[in-house]
């Protein structure tokens, strides 16, 4: 069994320099004052970054040029270089490969639908959870992302929507899912801080509703319990992938530490506190976890532990090149969903987007 770095915070190796988005409103004022500027400059900077979505000092004409250059160089250091951008679904799905200051690669995926625009973001470079069917998990964990690196992905996605870079003309980024590279709750503090920067109204944040943000986890029970006390209203998604401990020990190795029942009970605590349904993520893998009896067991477990506060999101597996894992056939997928719903649990199949652009997280980074 692969050993797992089950910590909430990895060492700060490779984190970028301090950025405005790493800091609370009070910390921004202090940082500006330390640079010899009036504290109100922090509010001006924040208005530009969070309100106007710009990090370009040339556009910040309300700040004197000498102060502007110093403030932006100290508090808005460049975080990413865009290396590659690939699109599919007639341009409505776009995956971006970004290189951080230390050379690490991360990905984000922007998906435009008729009624919304969703951005899937990364919380770590790589992942230490070692799930064998996941491209990111097979690459291992390189490092946590900083709060600002997480937020910057969202700002860039918001700019793309504002500027009409995807078909359909200018629009608004509406939904954020922490389902890119990494295990969000293994980078706990920075992810929670990023949620506040993403959701707080300008000038303190990007103003996206917490109810439109989903934070996923493979089931780090202490972190789920900790998040329950944060007084958030984001949706929790649990990547379960099988209802039985024997198989889950292999598919999601963290299960050797926190079993299915304990994960579901911690999820119930979050649902009770927030009043929000928990999304149960289930990647259907051909002849591995798609059996009818597993659908029955999944439905009965969720009915018992979560009741009406569970929603199963079946995910047709997006196989990685050379992988032994494959997606379940459509008739098997439909029967699985039917049997879950027969237990009184709602179940839908995720829209399959981006298969031709290596949209499974980690694939583009693995290609470089």
Location of structure tokens 């900083």: 146
Contact 320, 363 (CB under 8 A): yes
Query: How far, in Å, CA of 44 to CA of 265, rounded?
Result: 45
Q: Where does residue 138 rank: exposed (0-12), middle (13-18), buried (19+ CB within 10 A)?
A: middle
Location of structure tokens 């999601």: 252
Closest to 145 (Cα-Cα) out of 190, 205, 82: 190
Active site residue 127: no
Contact 304, 268 (CB under 8 A): no
Query: How far, in Å, CA of 10 to CA of 362, rounded?
Result: 19
Q: How many other C-beta atoms are found inside a 10 Å radius of the C-beta of residue 343?
A: 18
Contact 308, 360 (CB under 8 A): no
Greatest Cα pair distance in the chain: 68
Dihedral (CA of 52, 55, 56, 59) sign: positive
Termini Cα distance of the chain = 28
Exactly one of 82, 88, 107, 120 is catalytic; name it. Answer: 107
Exactly one of 120, 127, 199, 361 is catalytic; name it. Answer: 361
Closest to 146 (Cα-Cα) out of 183, 193, 114: 193
User: Active-site positions?
Assistant: 107, 361
């Amino acid at each position: 069994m692969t050993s797992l770095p089950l910590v909430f915070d990895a060492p700060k190796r490779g984190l970028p320099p301090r950025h405005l988005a790493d800091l609370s409103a009070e910390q921004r004022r202090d940082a500006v004052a330390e640079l010899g500027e009036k504290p109100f400059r922090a509010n001006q900077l924040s208005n530009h970054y969070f309100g106007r979505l710009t990090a370009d000092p040339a556009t910040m004409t309300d700040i004197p040029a000498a102060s502007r250059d110093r403030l932006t160089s100290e508090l808005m250091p460049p975080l990413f270089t865009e290396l590659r951008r690939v699109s599919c679904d007639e341009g409505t799905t776009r995956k971006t490969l970004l290189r951080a200051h230390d050379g690490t690669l991360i990905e984000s995926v922007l998906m435009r639908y008729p009624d919304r625009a969703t951005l899937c973001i990364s919380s770590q470079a790589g992942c230490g959870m070692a799930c064998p069917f996941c491209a990111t998990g097979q690459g291992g964990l390189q490092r946590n992302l900083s709060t600002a690196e997480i937020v910057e992905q969202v700002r860039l996605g918001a700019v793309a929507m504002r500027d009409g870079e995807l078909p359909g003309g200018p629009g608004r980024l509406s939904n954020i899912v922490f389902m890119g590279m990494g295990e969000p709750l293994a980078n706990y503090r920075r992810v929670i801080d990023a949620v506040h920067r993403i959701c707080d109204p300008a000038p303190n944040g990007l103003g996206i509703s917490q109810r439109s943000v989903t934070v996923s986890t493979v089931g780090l029970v202490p972190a789920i319990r900790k998040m329950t006390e944060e007084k958030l209203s984001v949706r929790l998604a649990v990547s379960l992938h099988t209802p039985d401990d024997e198989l889950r020990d292999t598919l999601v190795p963290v299960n050797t530490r926190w079993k299915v029942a304990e994960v579901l009970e911690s999820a119930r605590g979050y649902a009770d506190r927030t009043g929000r349904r928990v999304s149960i993520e289930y990647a259907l893998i051909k002849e591995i976890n798609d059996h009818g009896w597993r659908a029955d067991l999944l439905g009965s477990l969720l009915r018992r532990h979560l009741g009406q506060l569970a929603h199963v999101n079946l995910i047709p597996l997006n196989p990685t090149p050379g992988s032994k894992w494959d997606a379940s056939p459509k008739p098997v997928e439909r029967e699985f969903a039917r049997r879950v719903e027969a237990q009184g649990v709602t179940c839908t199949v995720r829209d399959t987007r981006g298969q031709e652009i290596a949209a499974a997280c980690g694939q583009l980074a693995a290609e470089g």
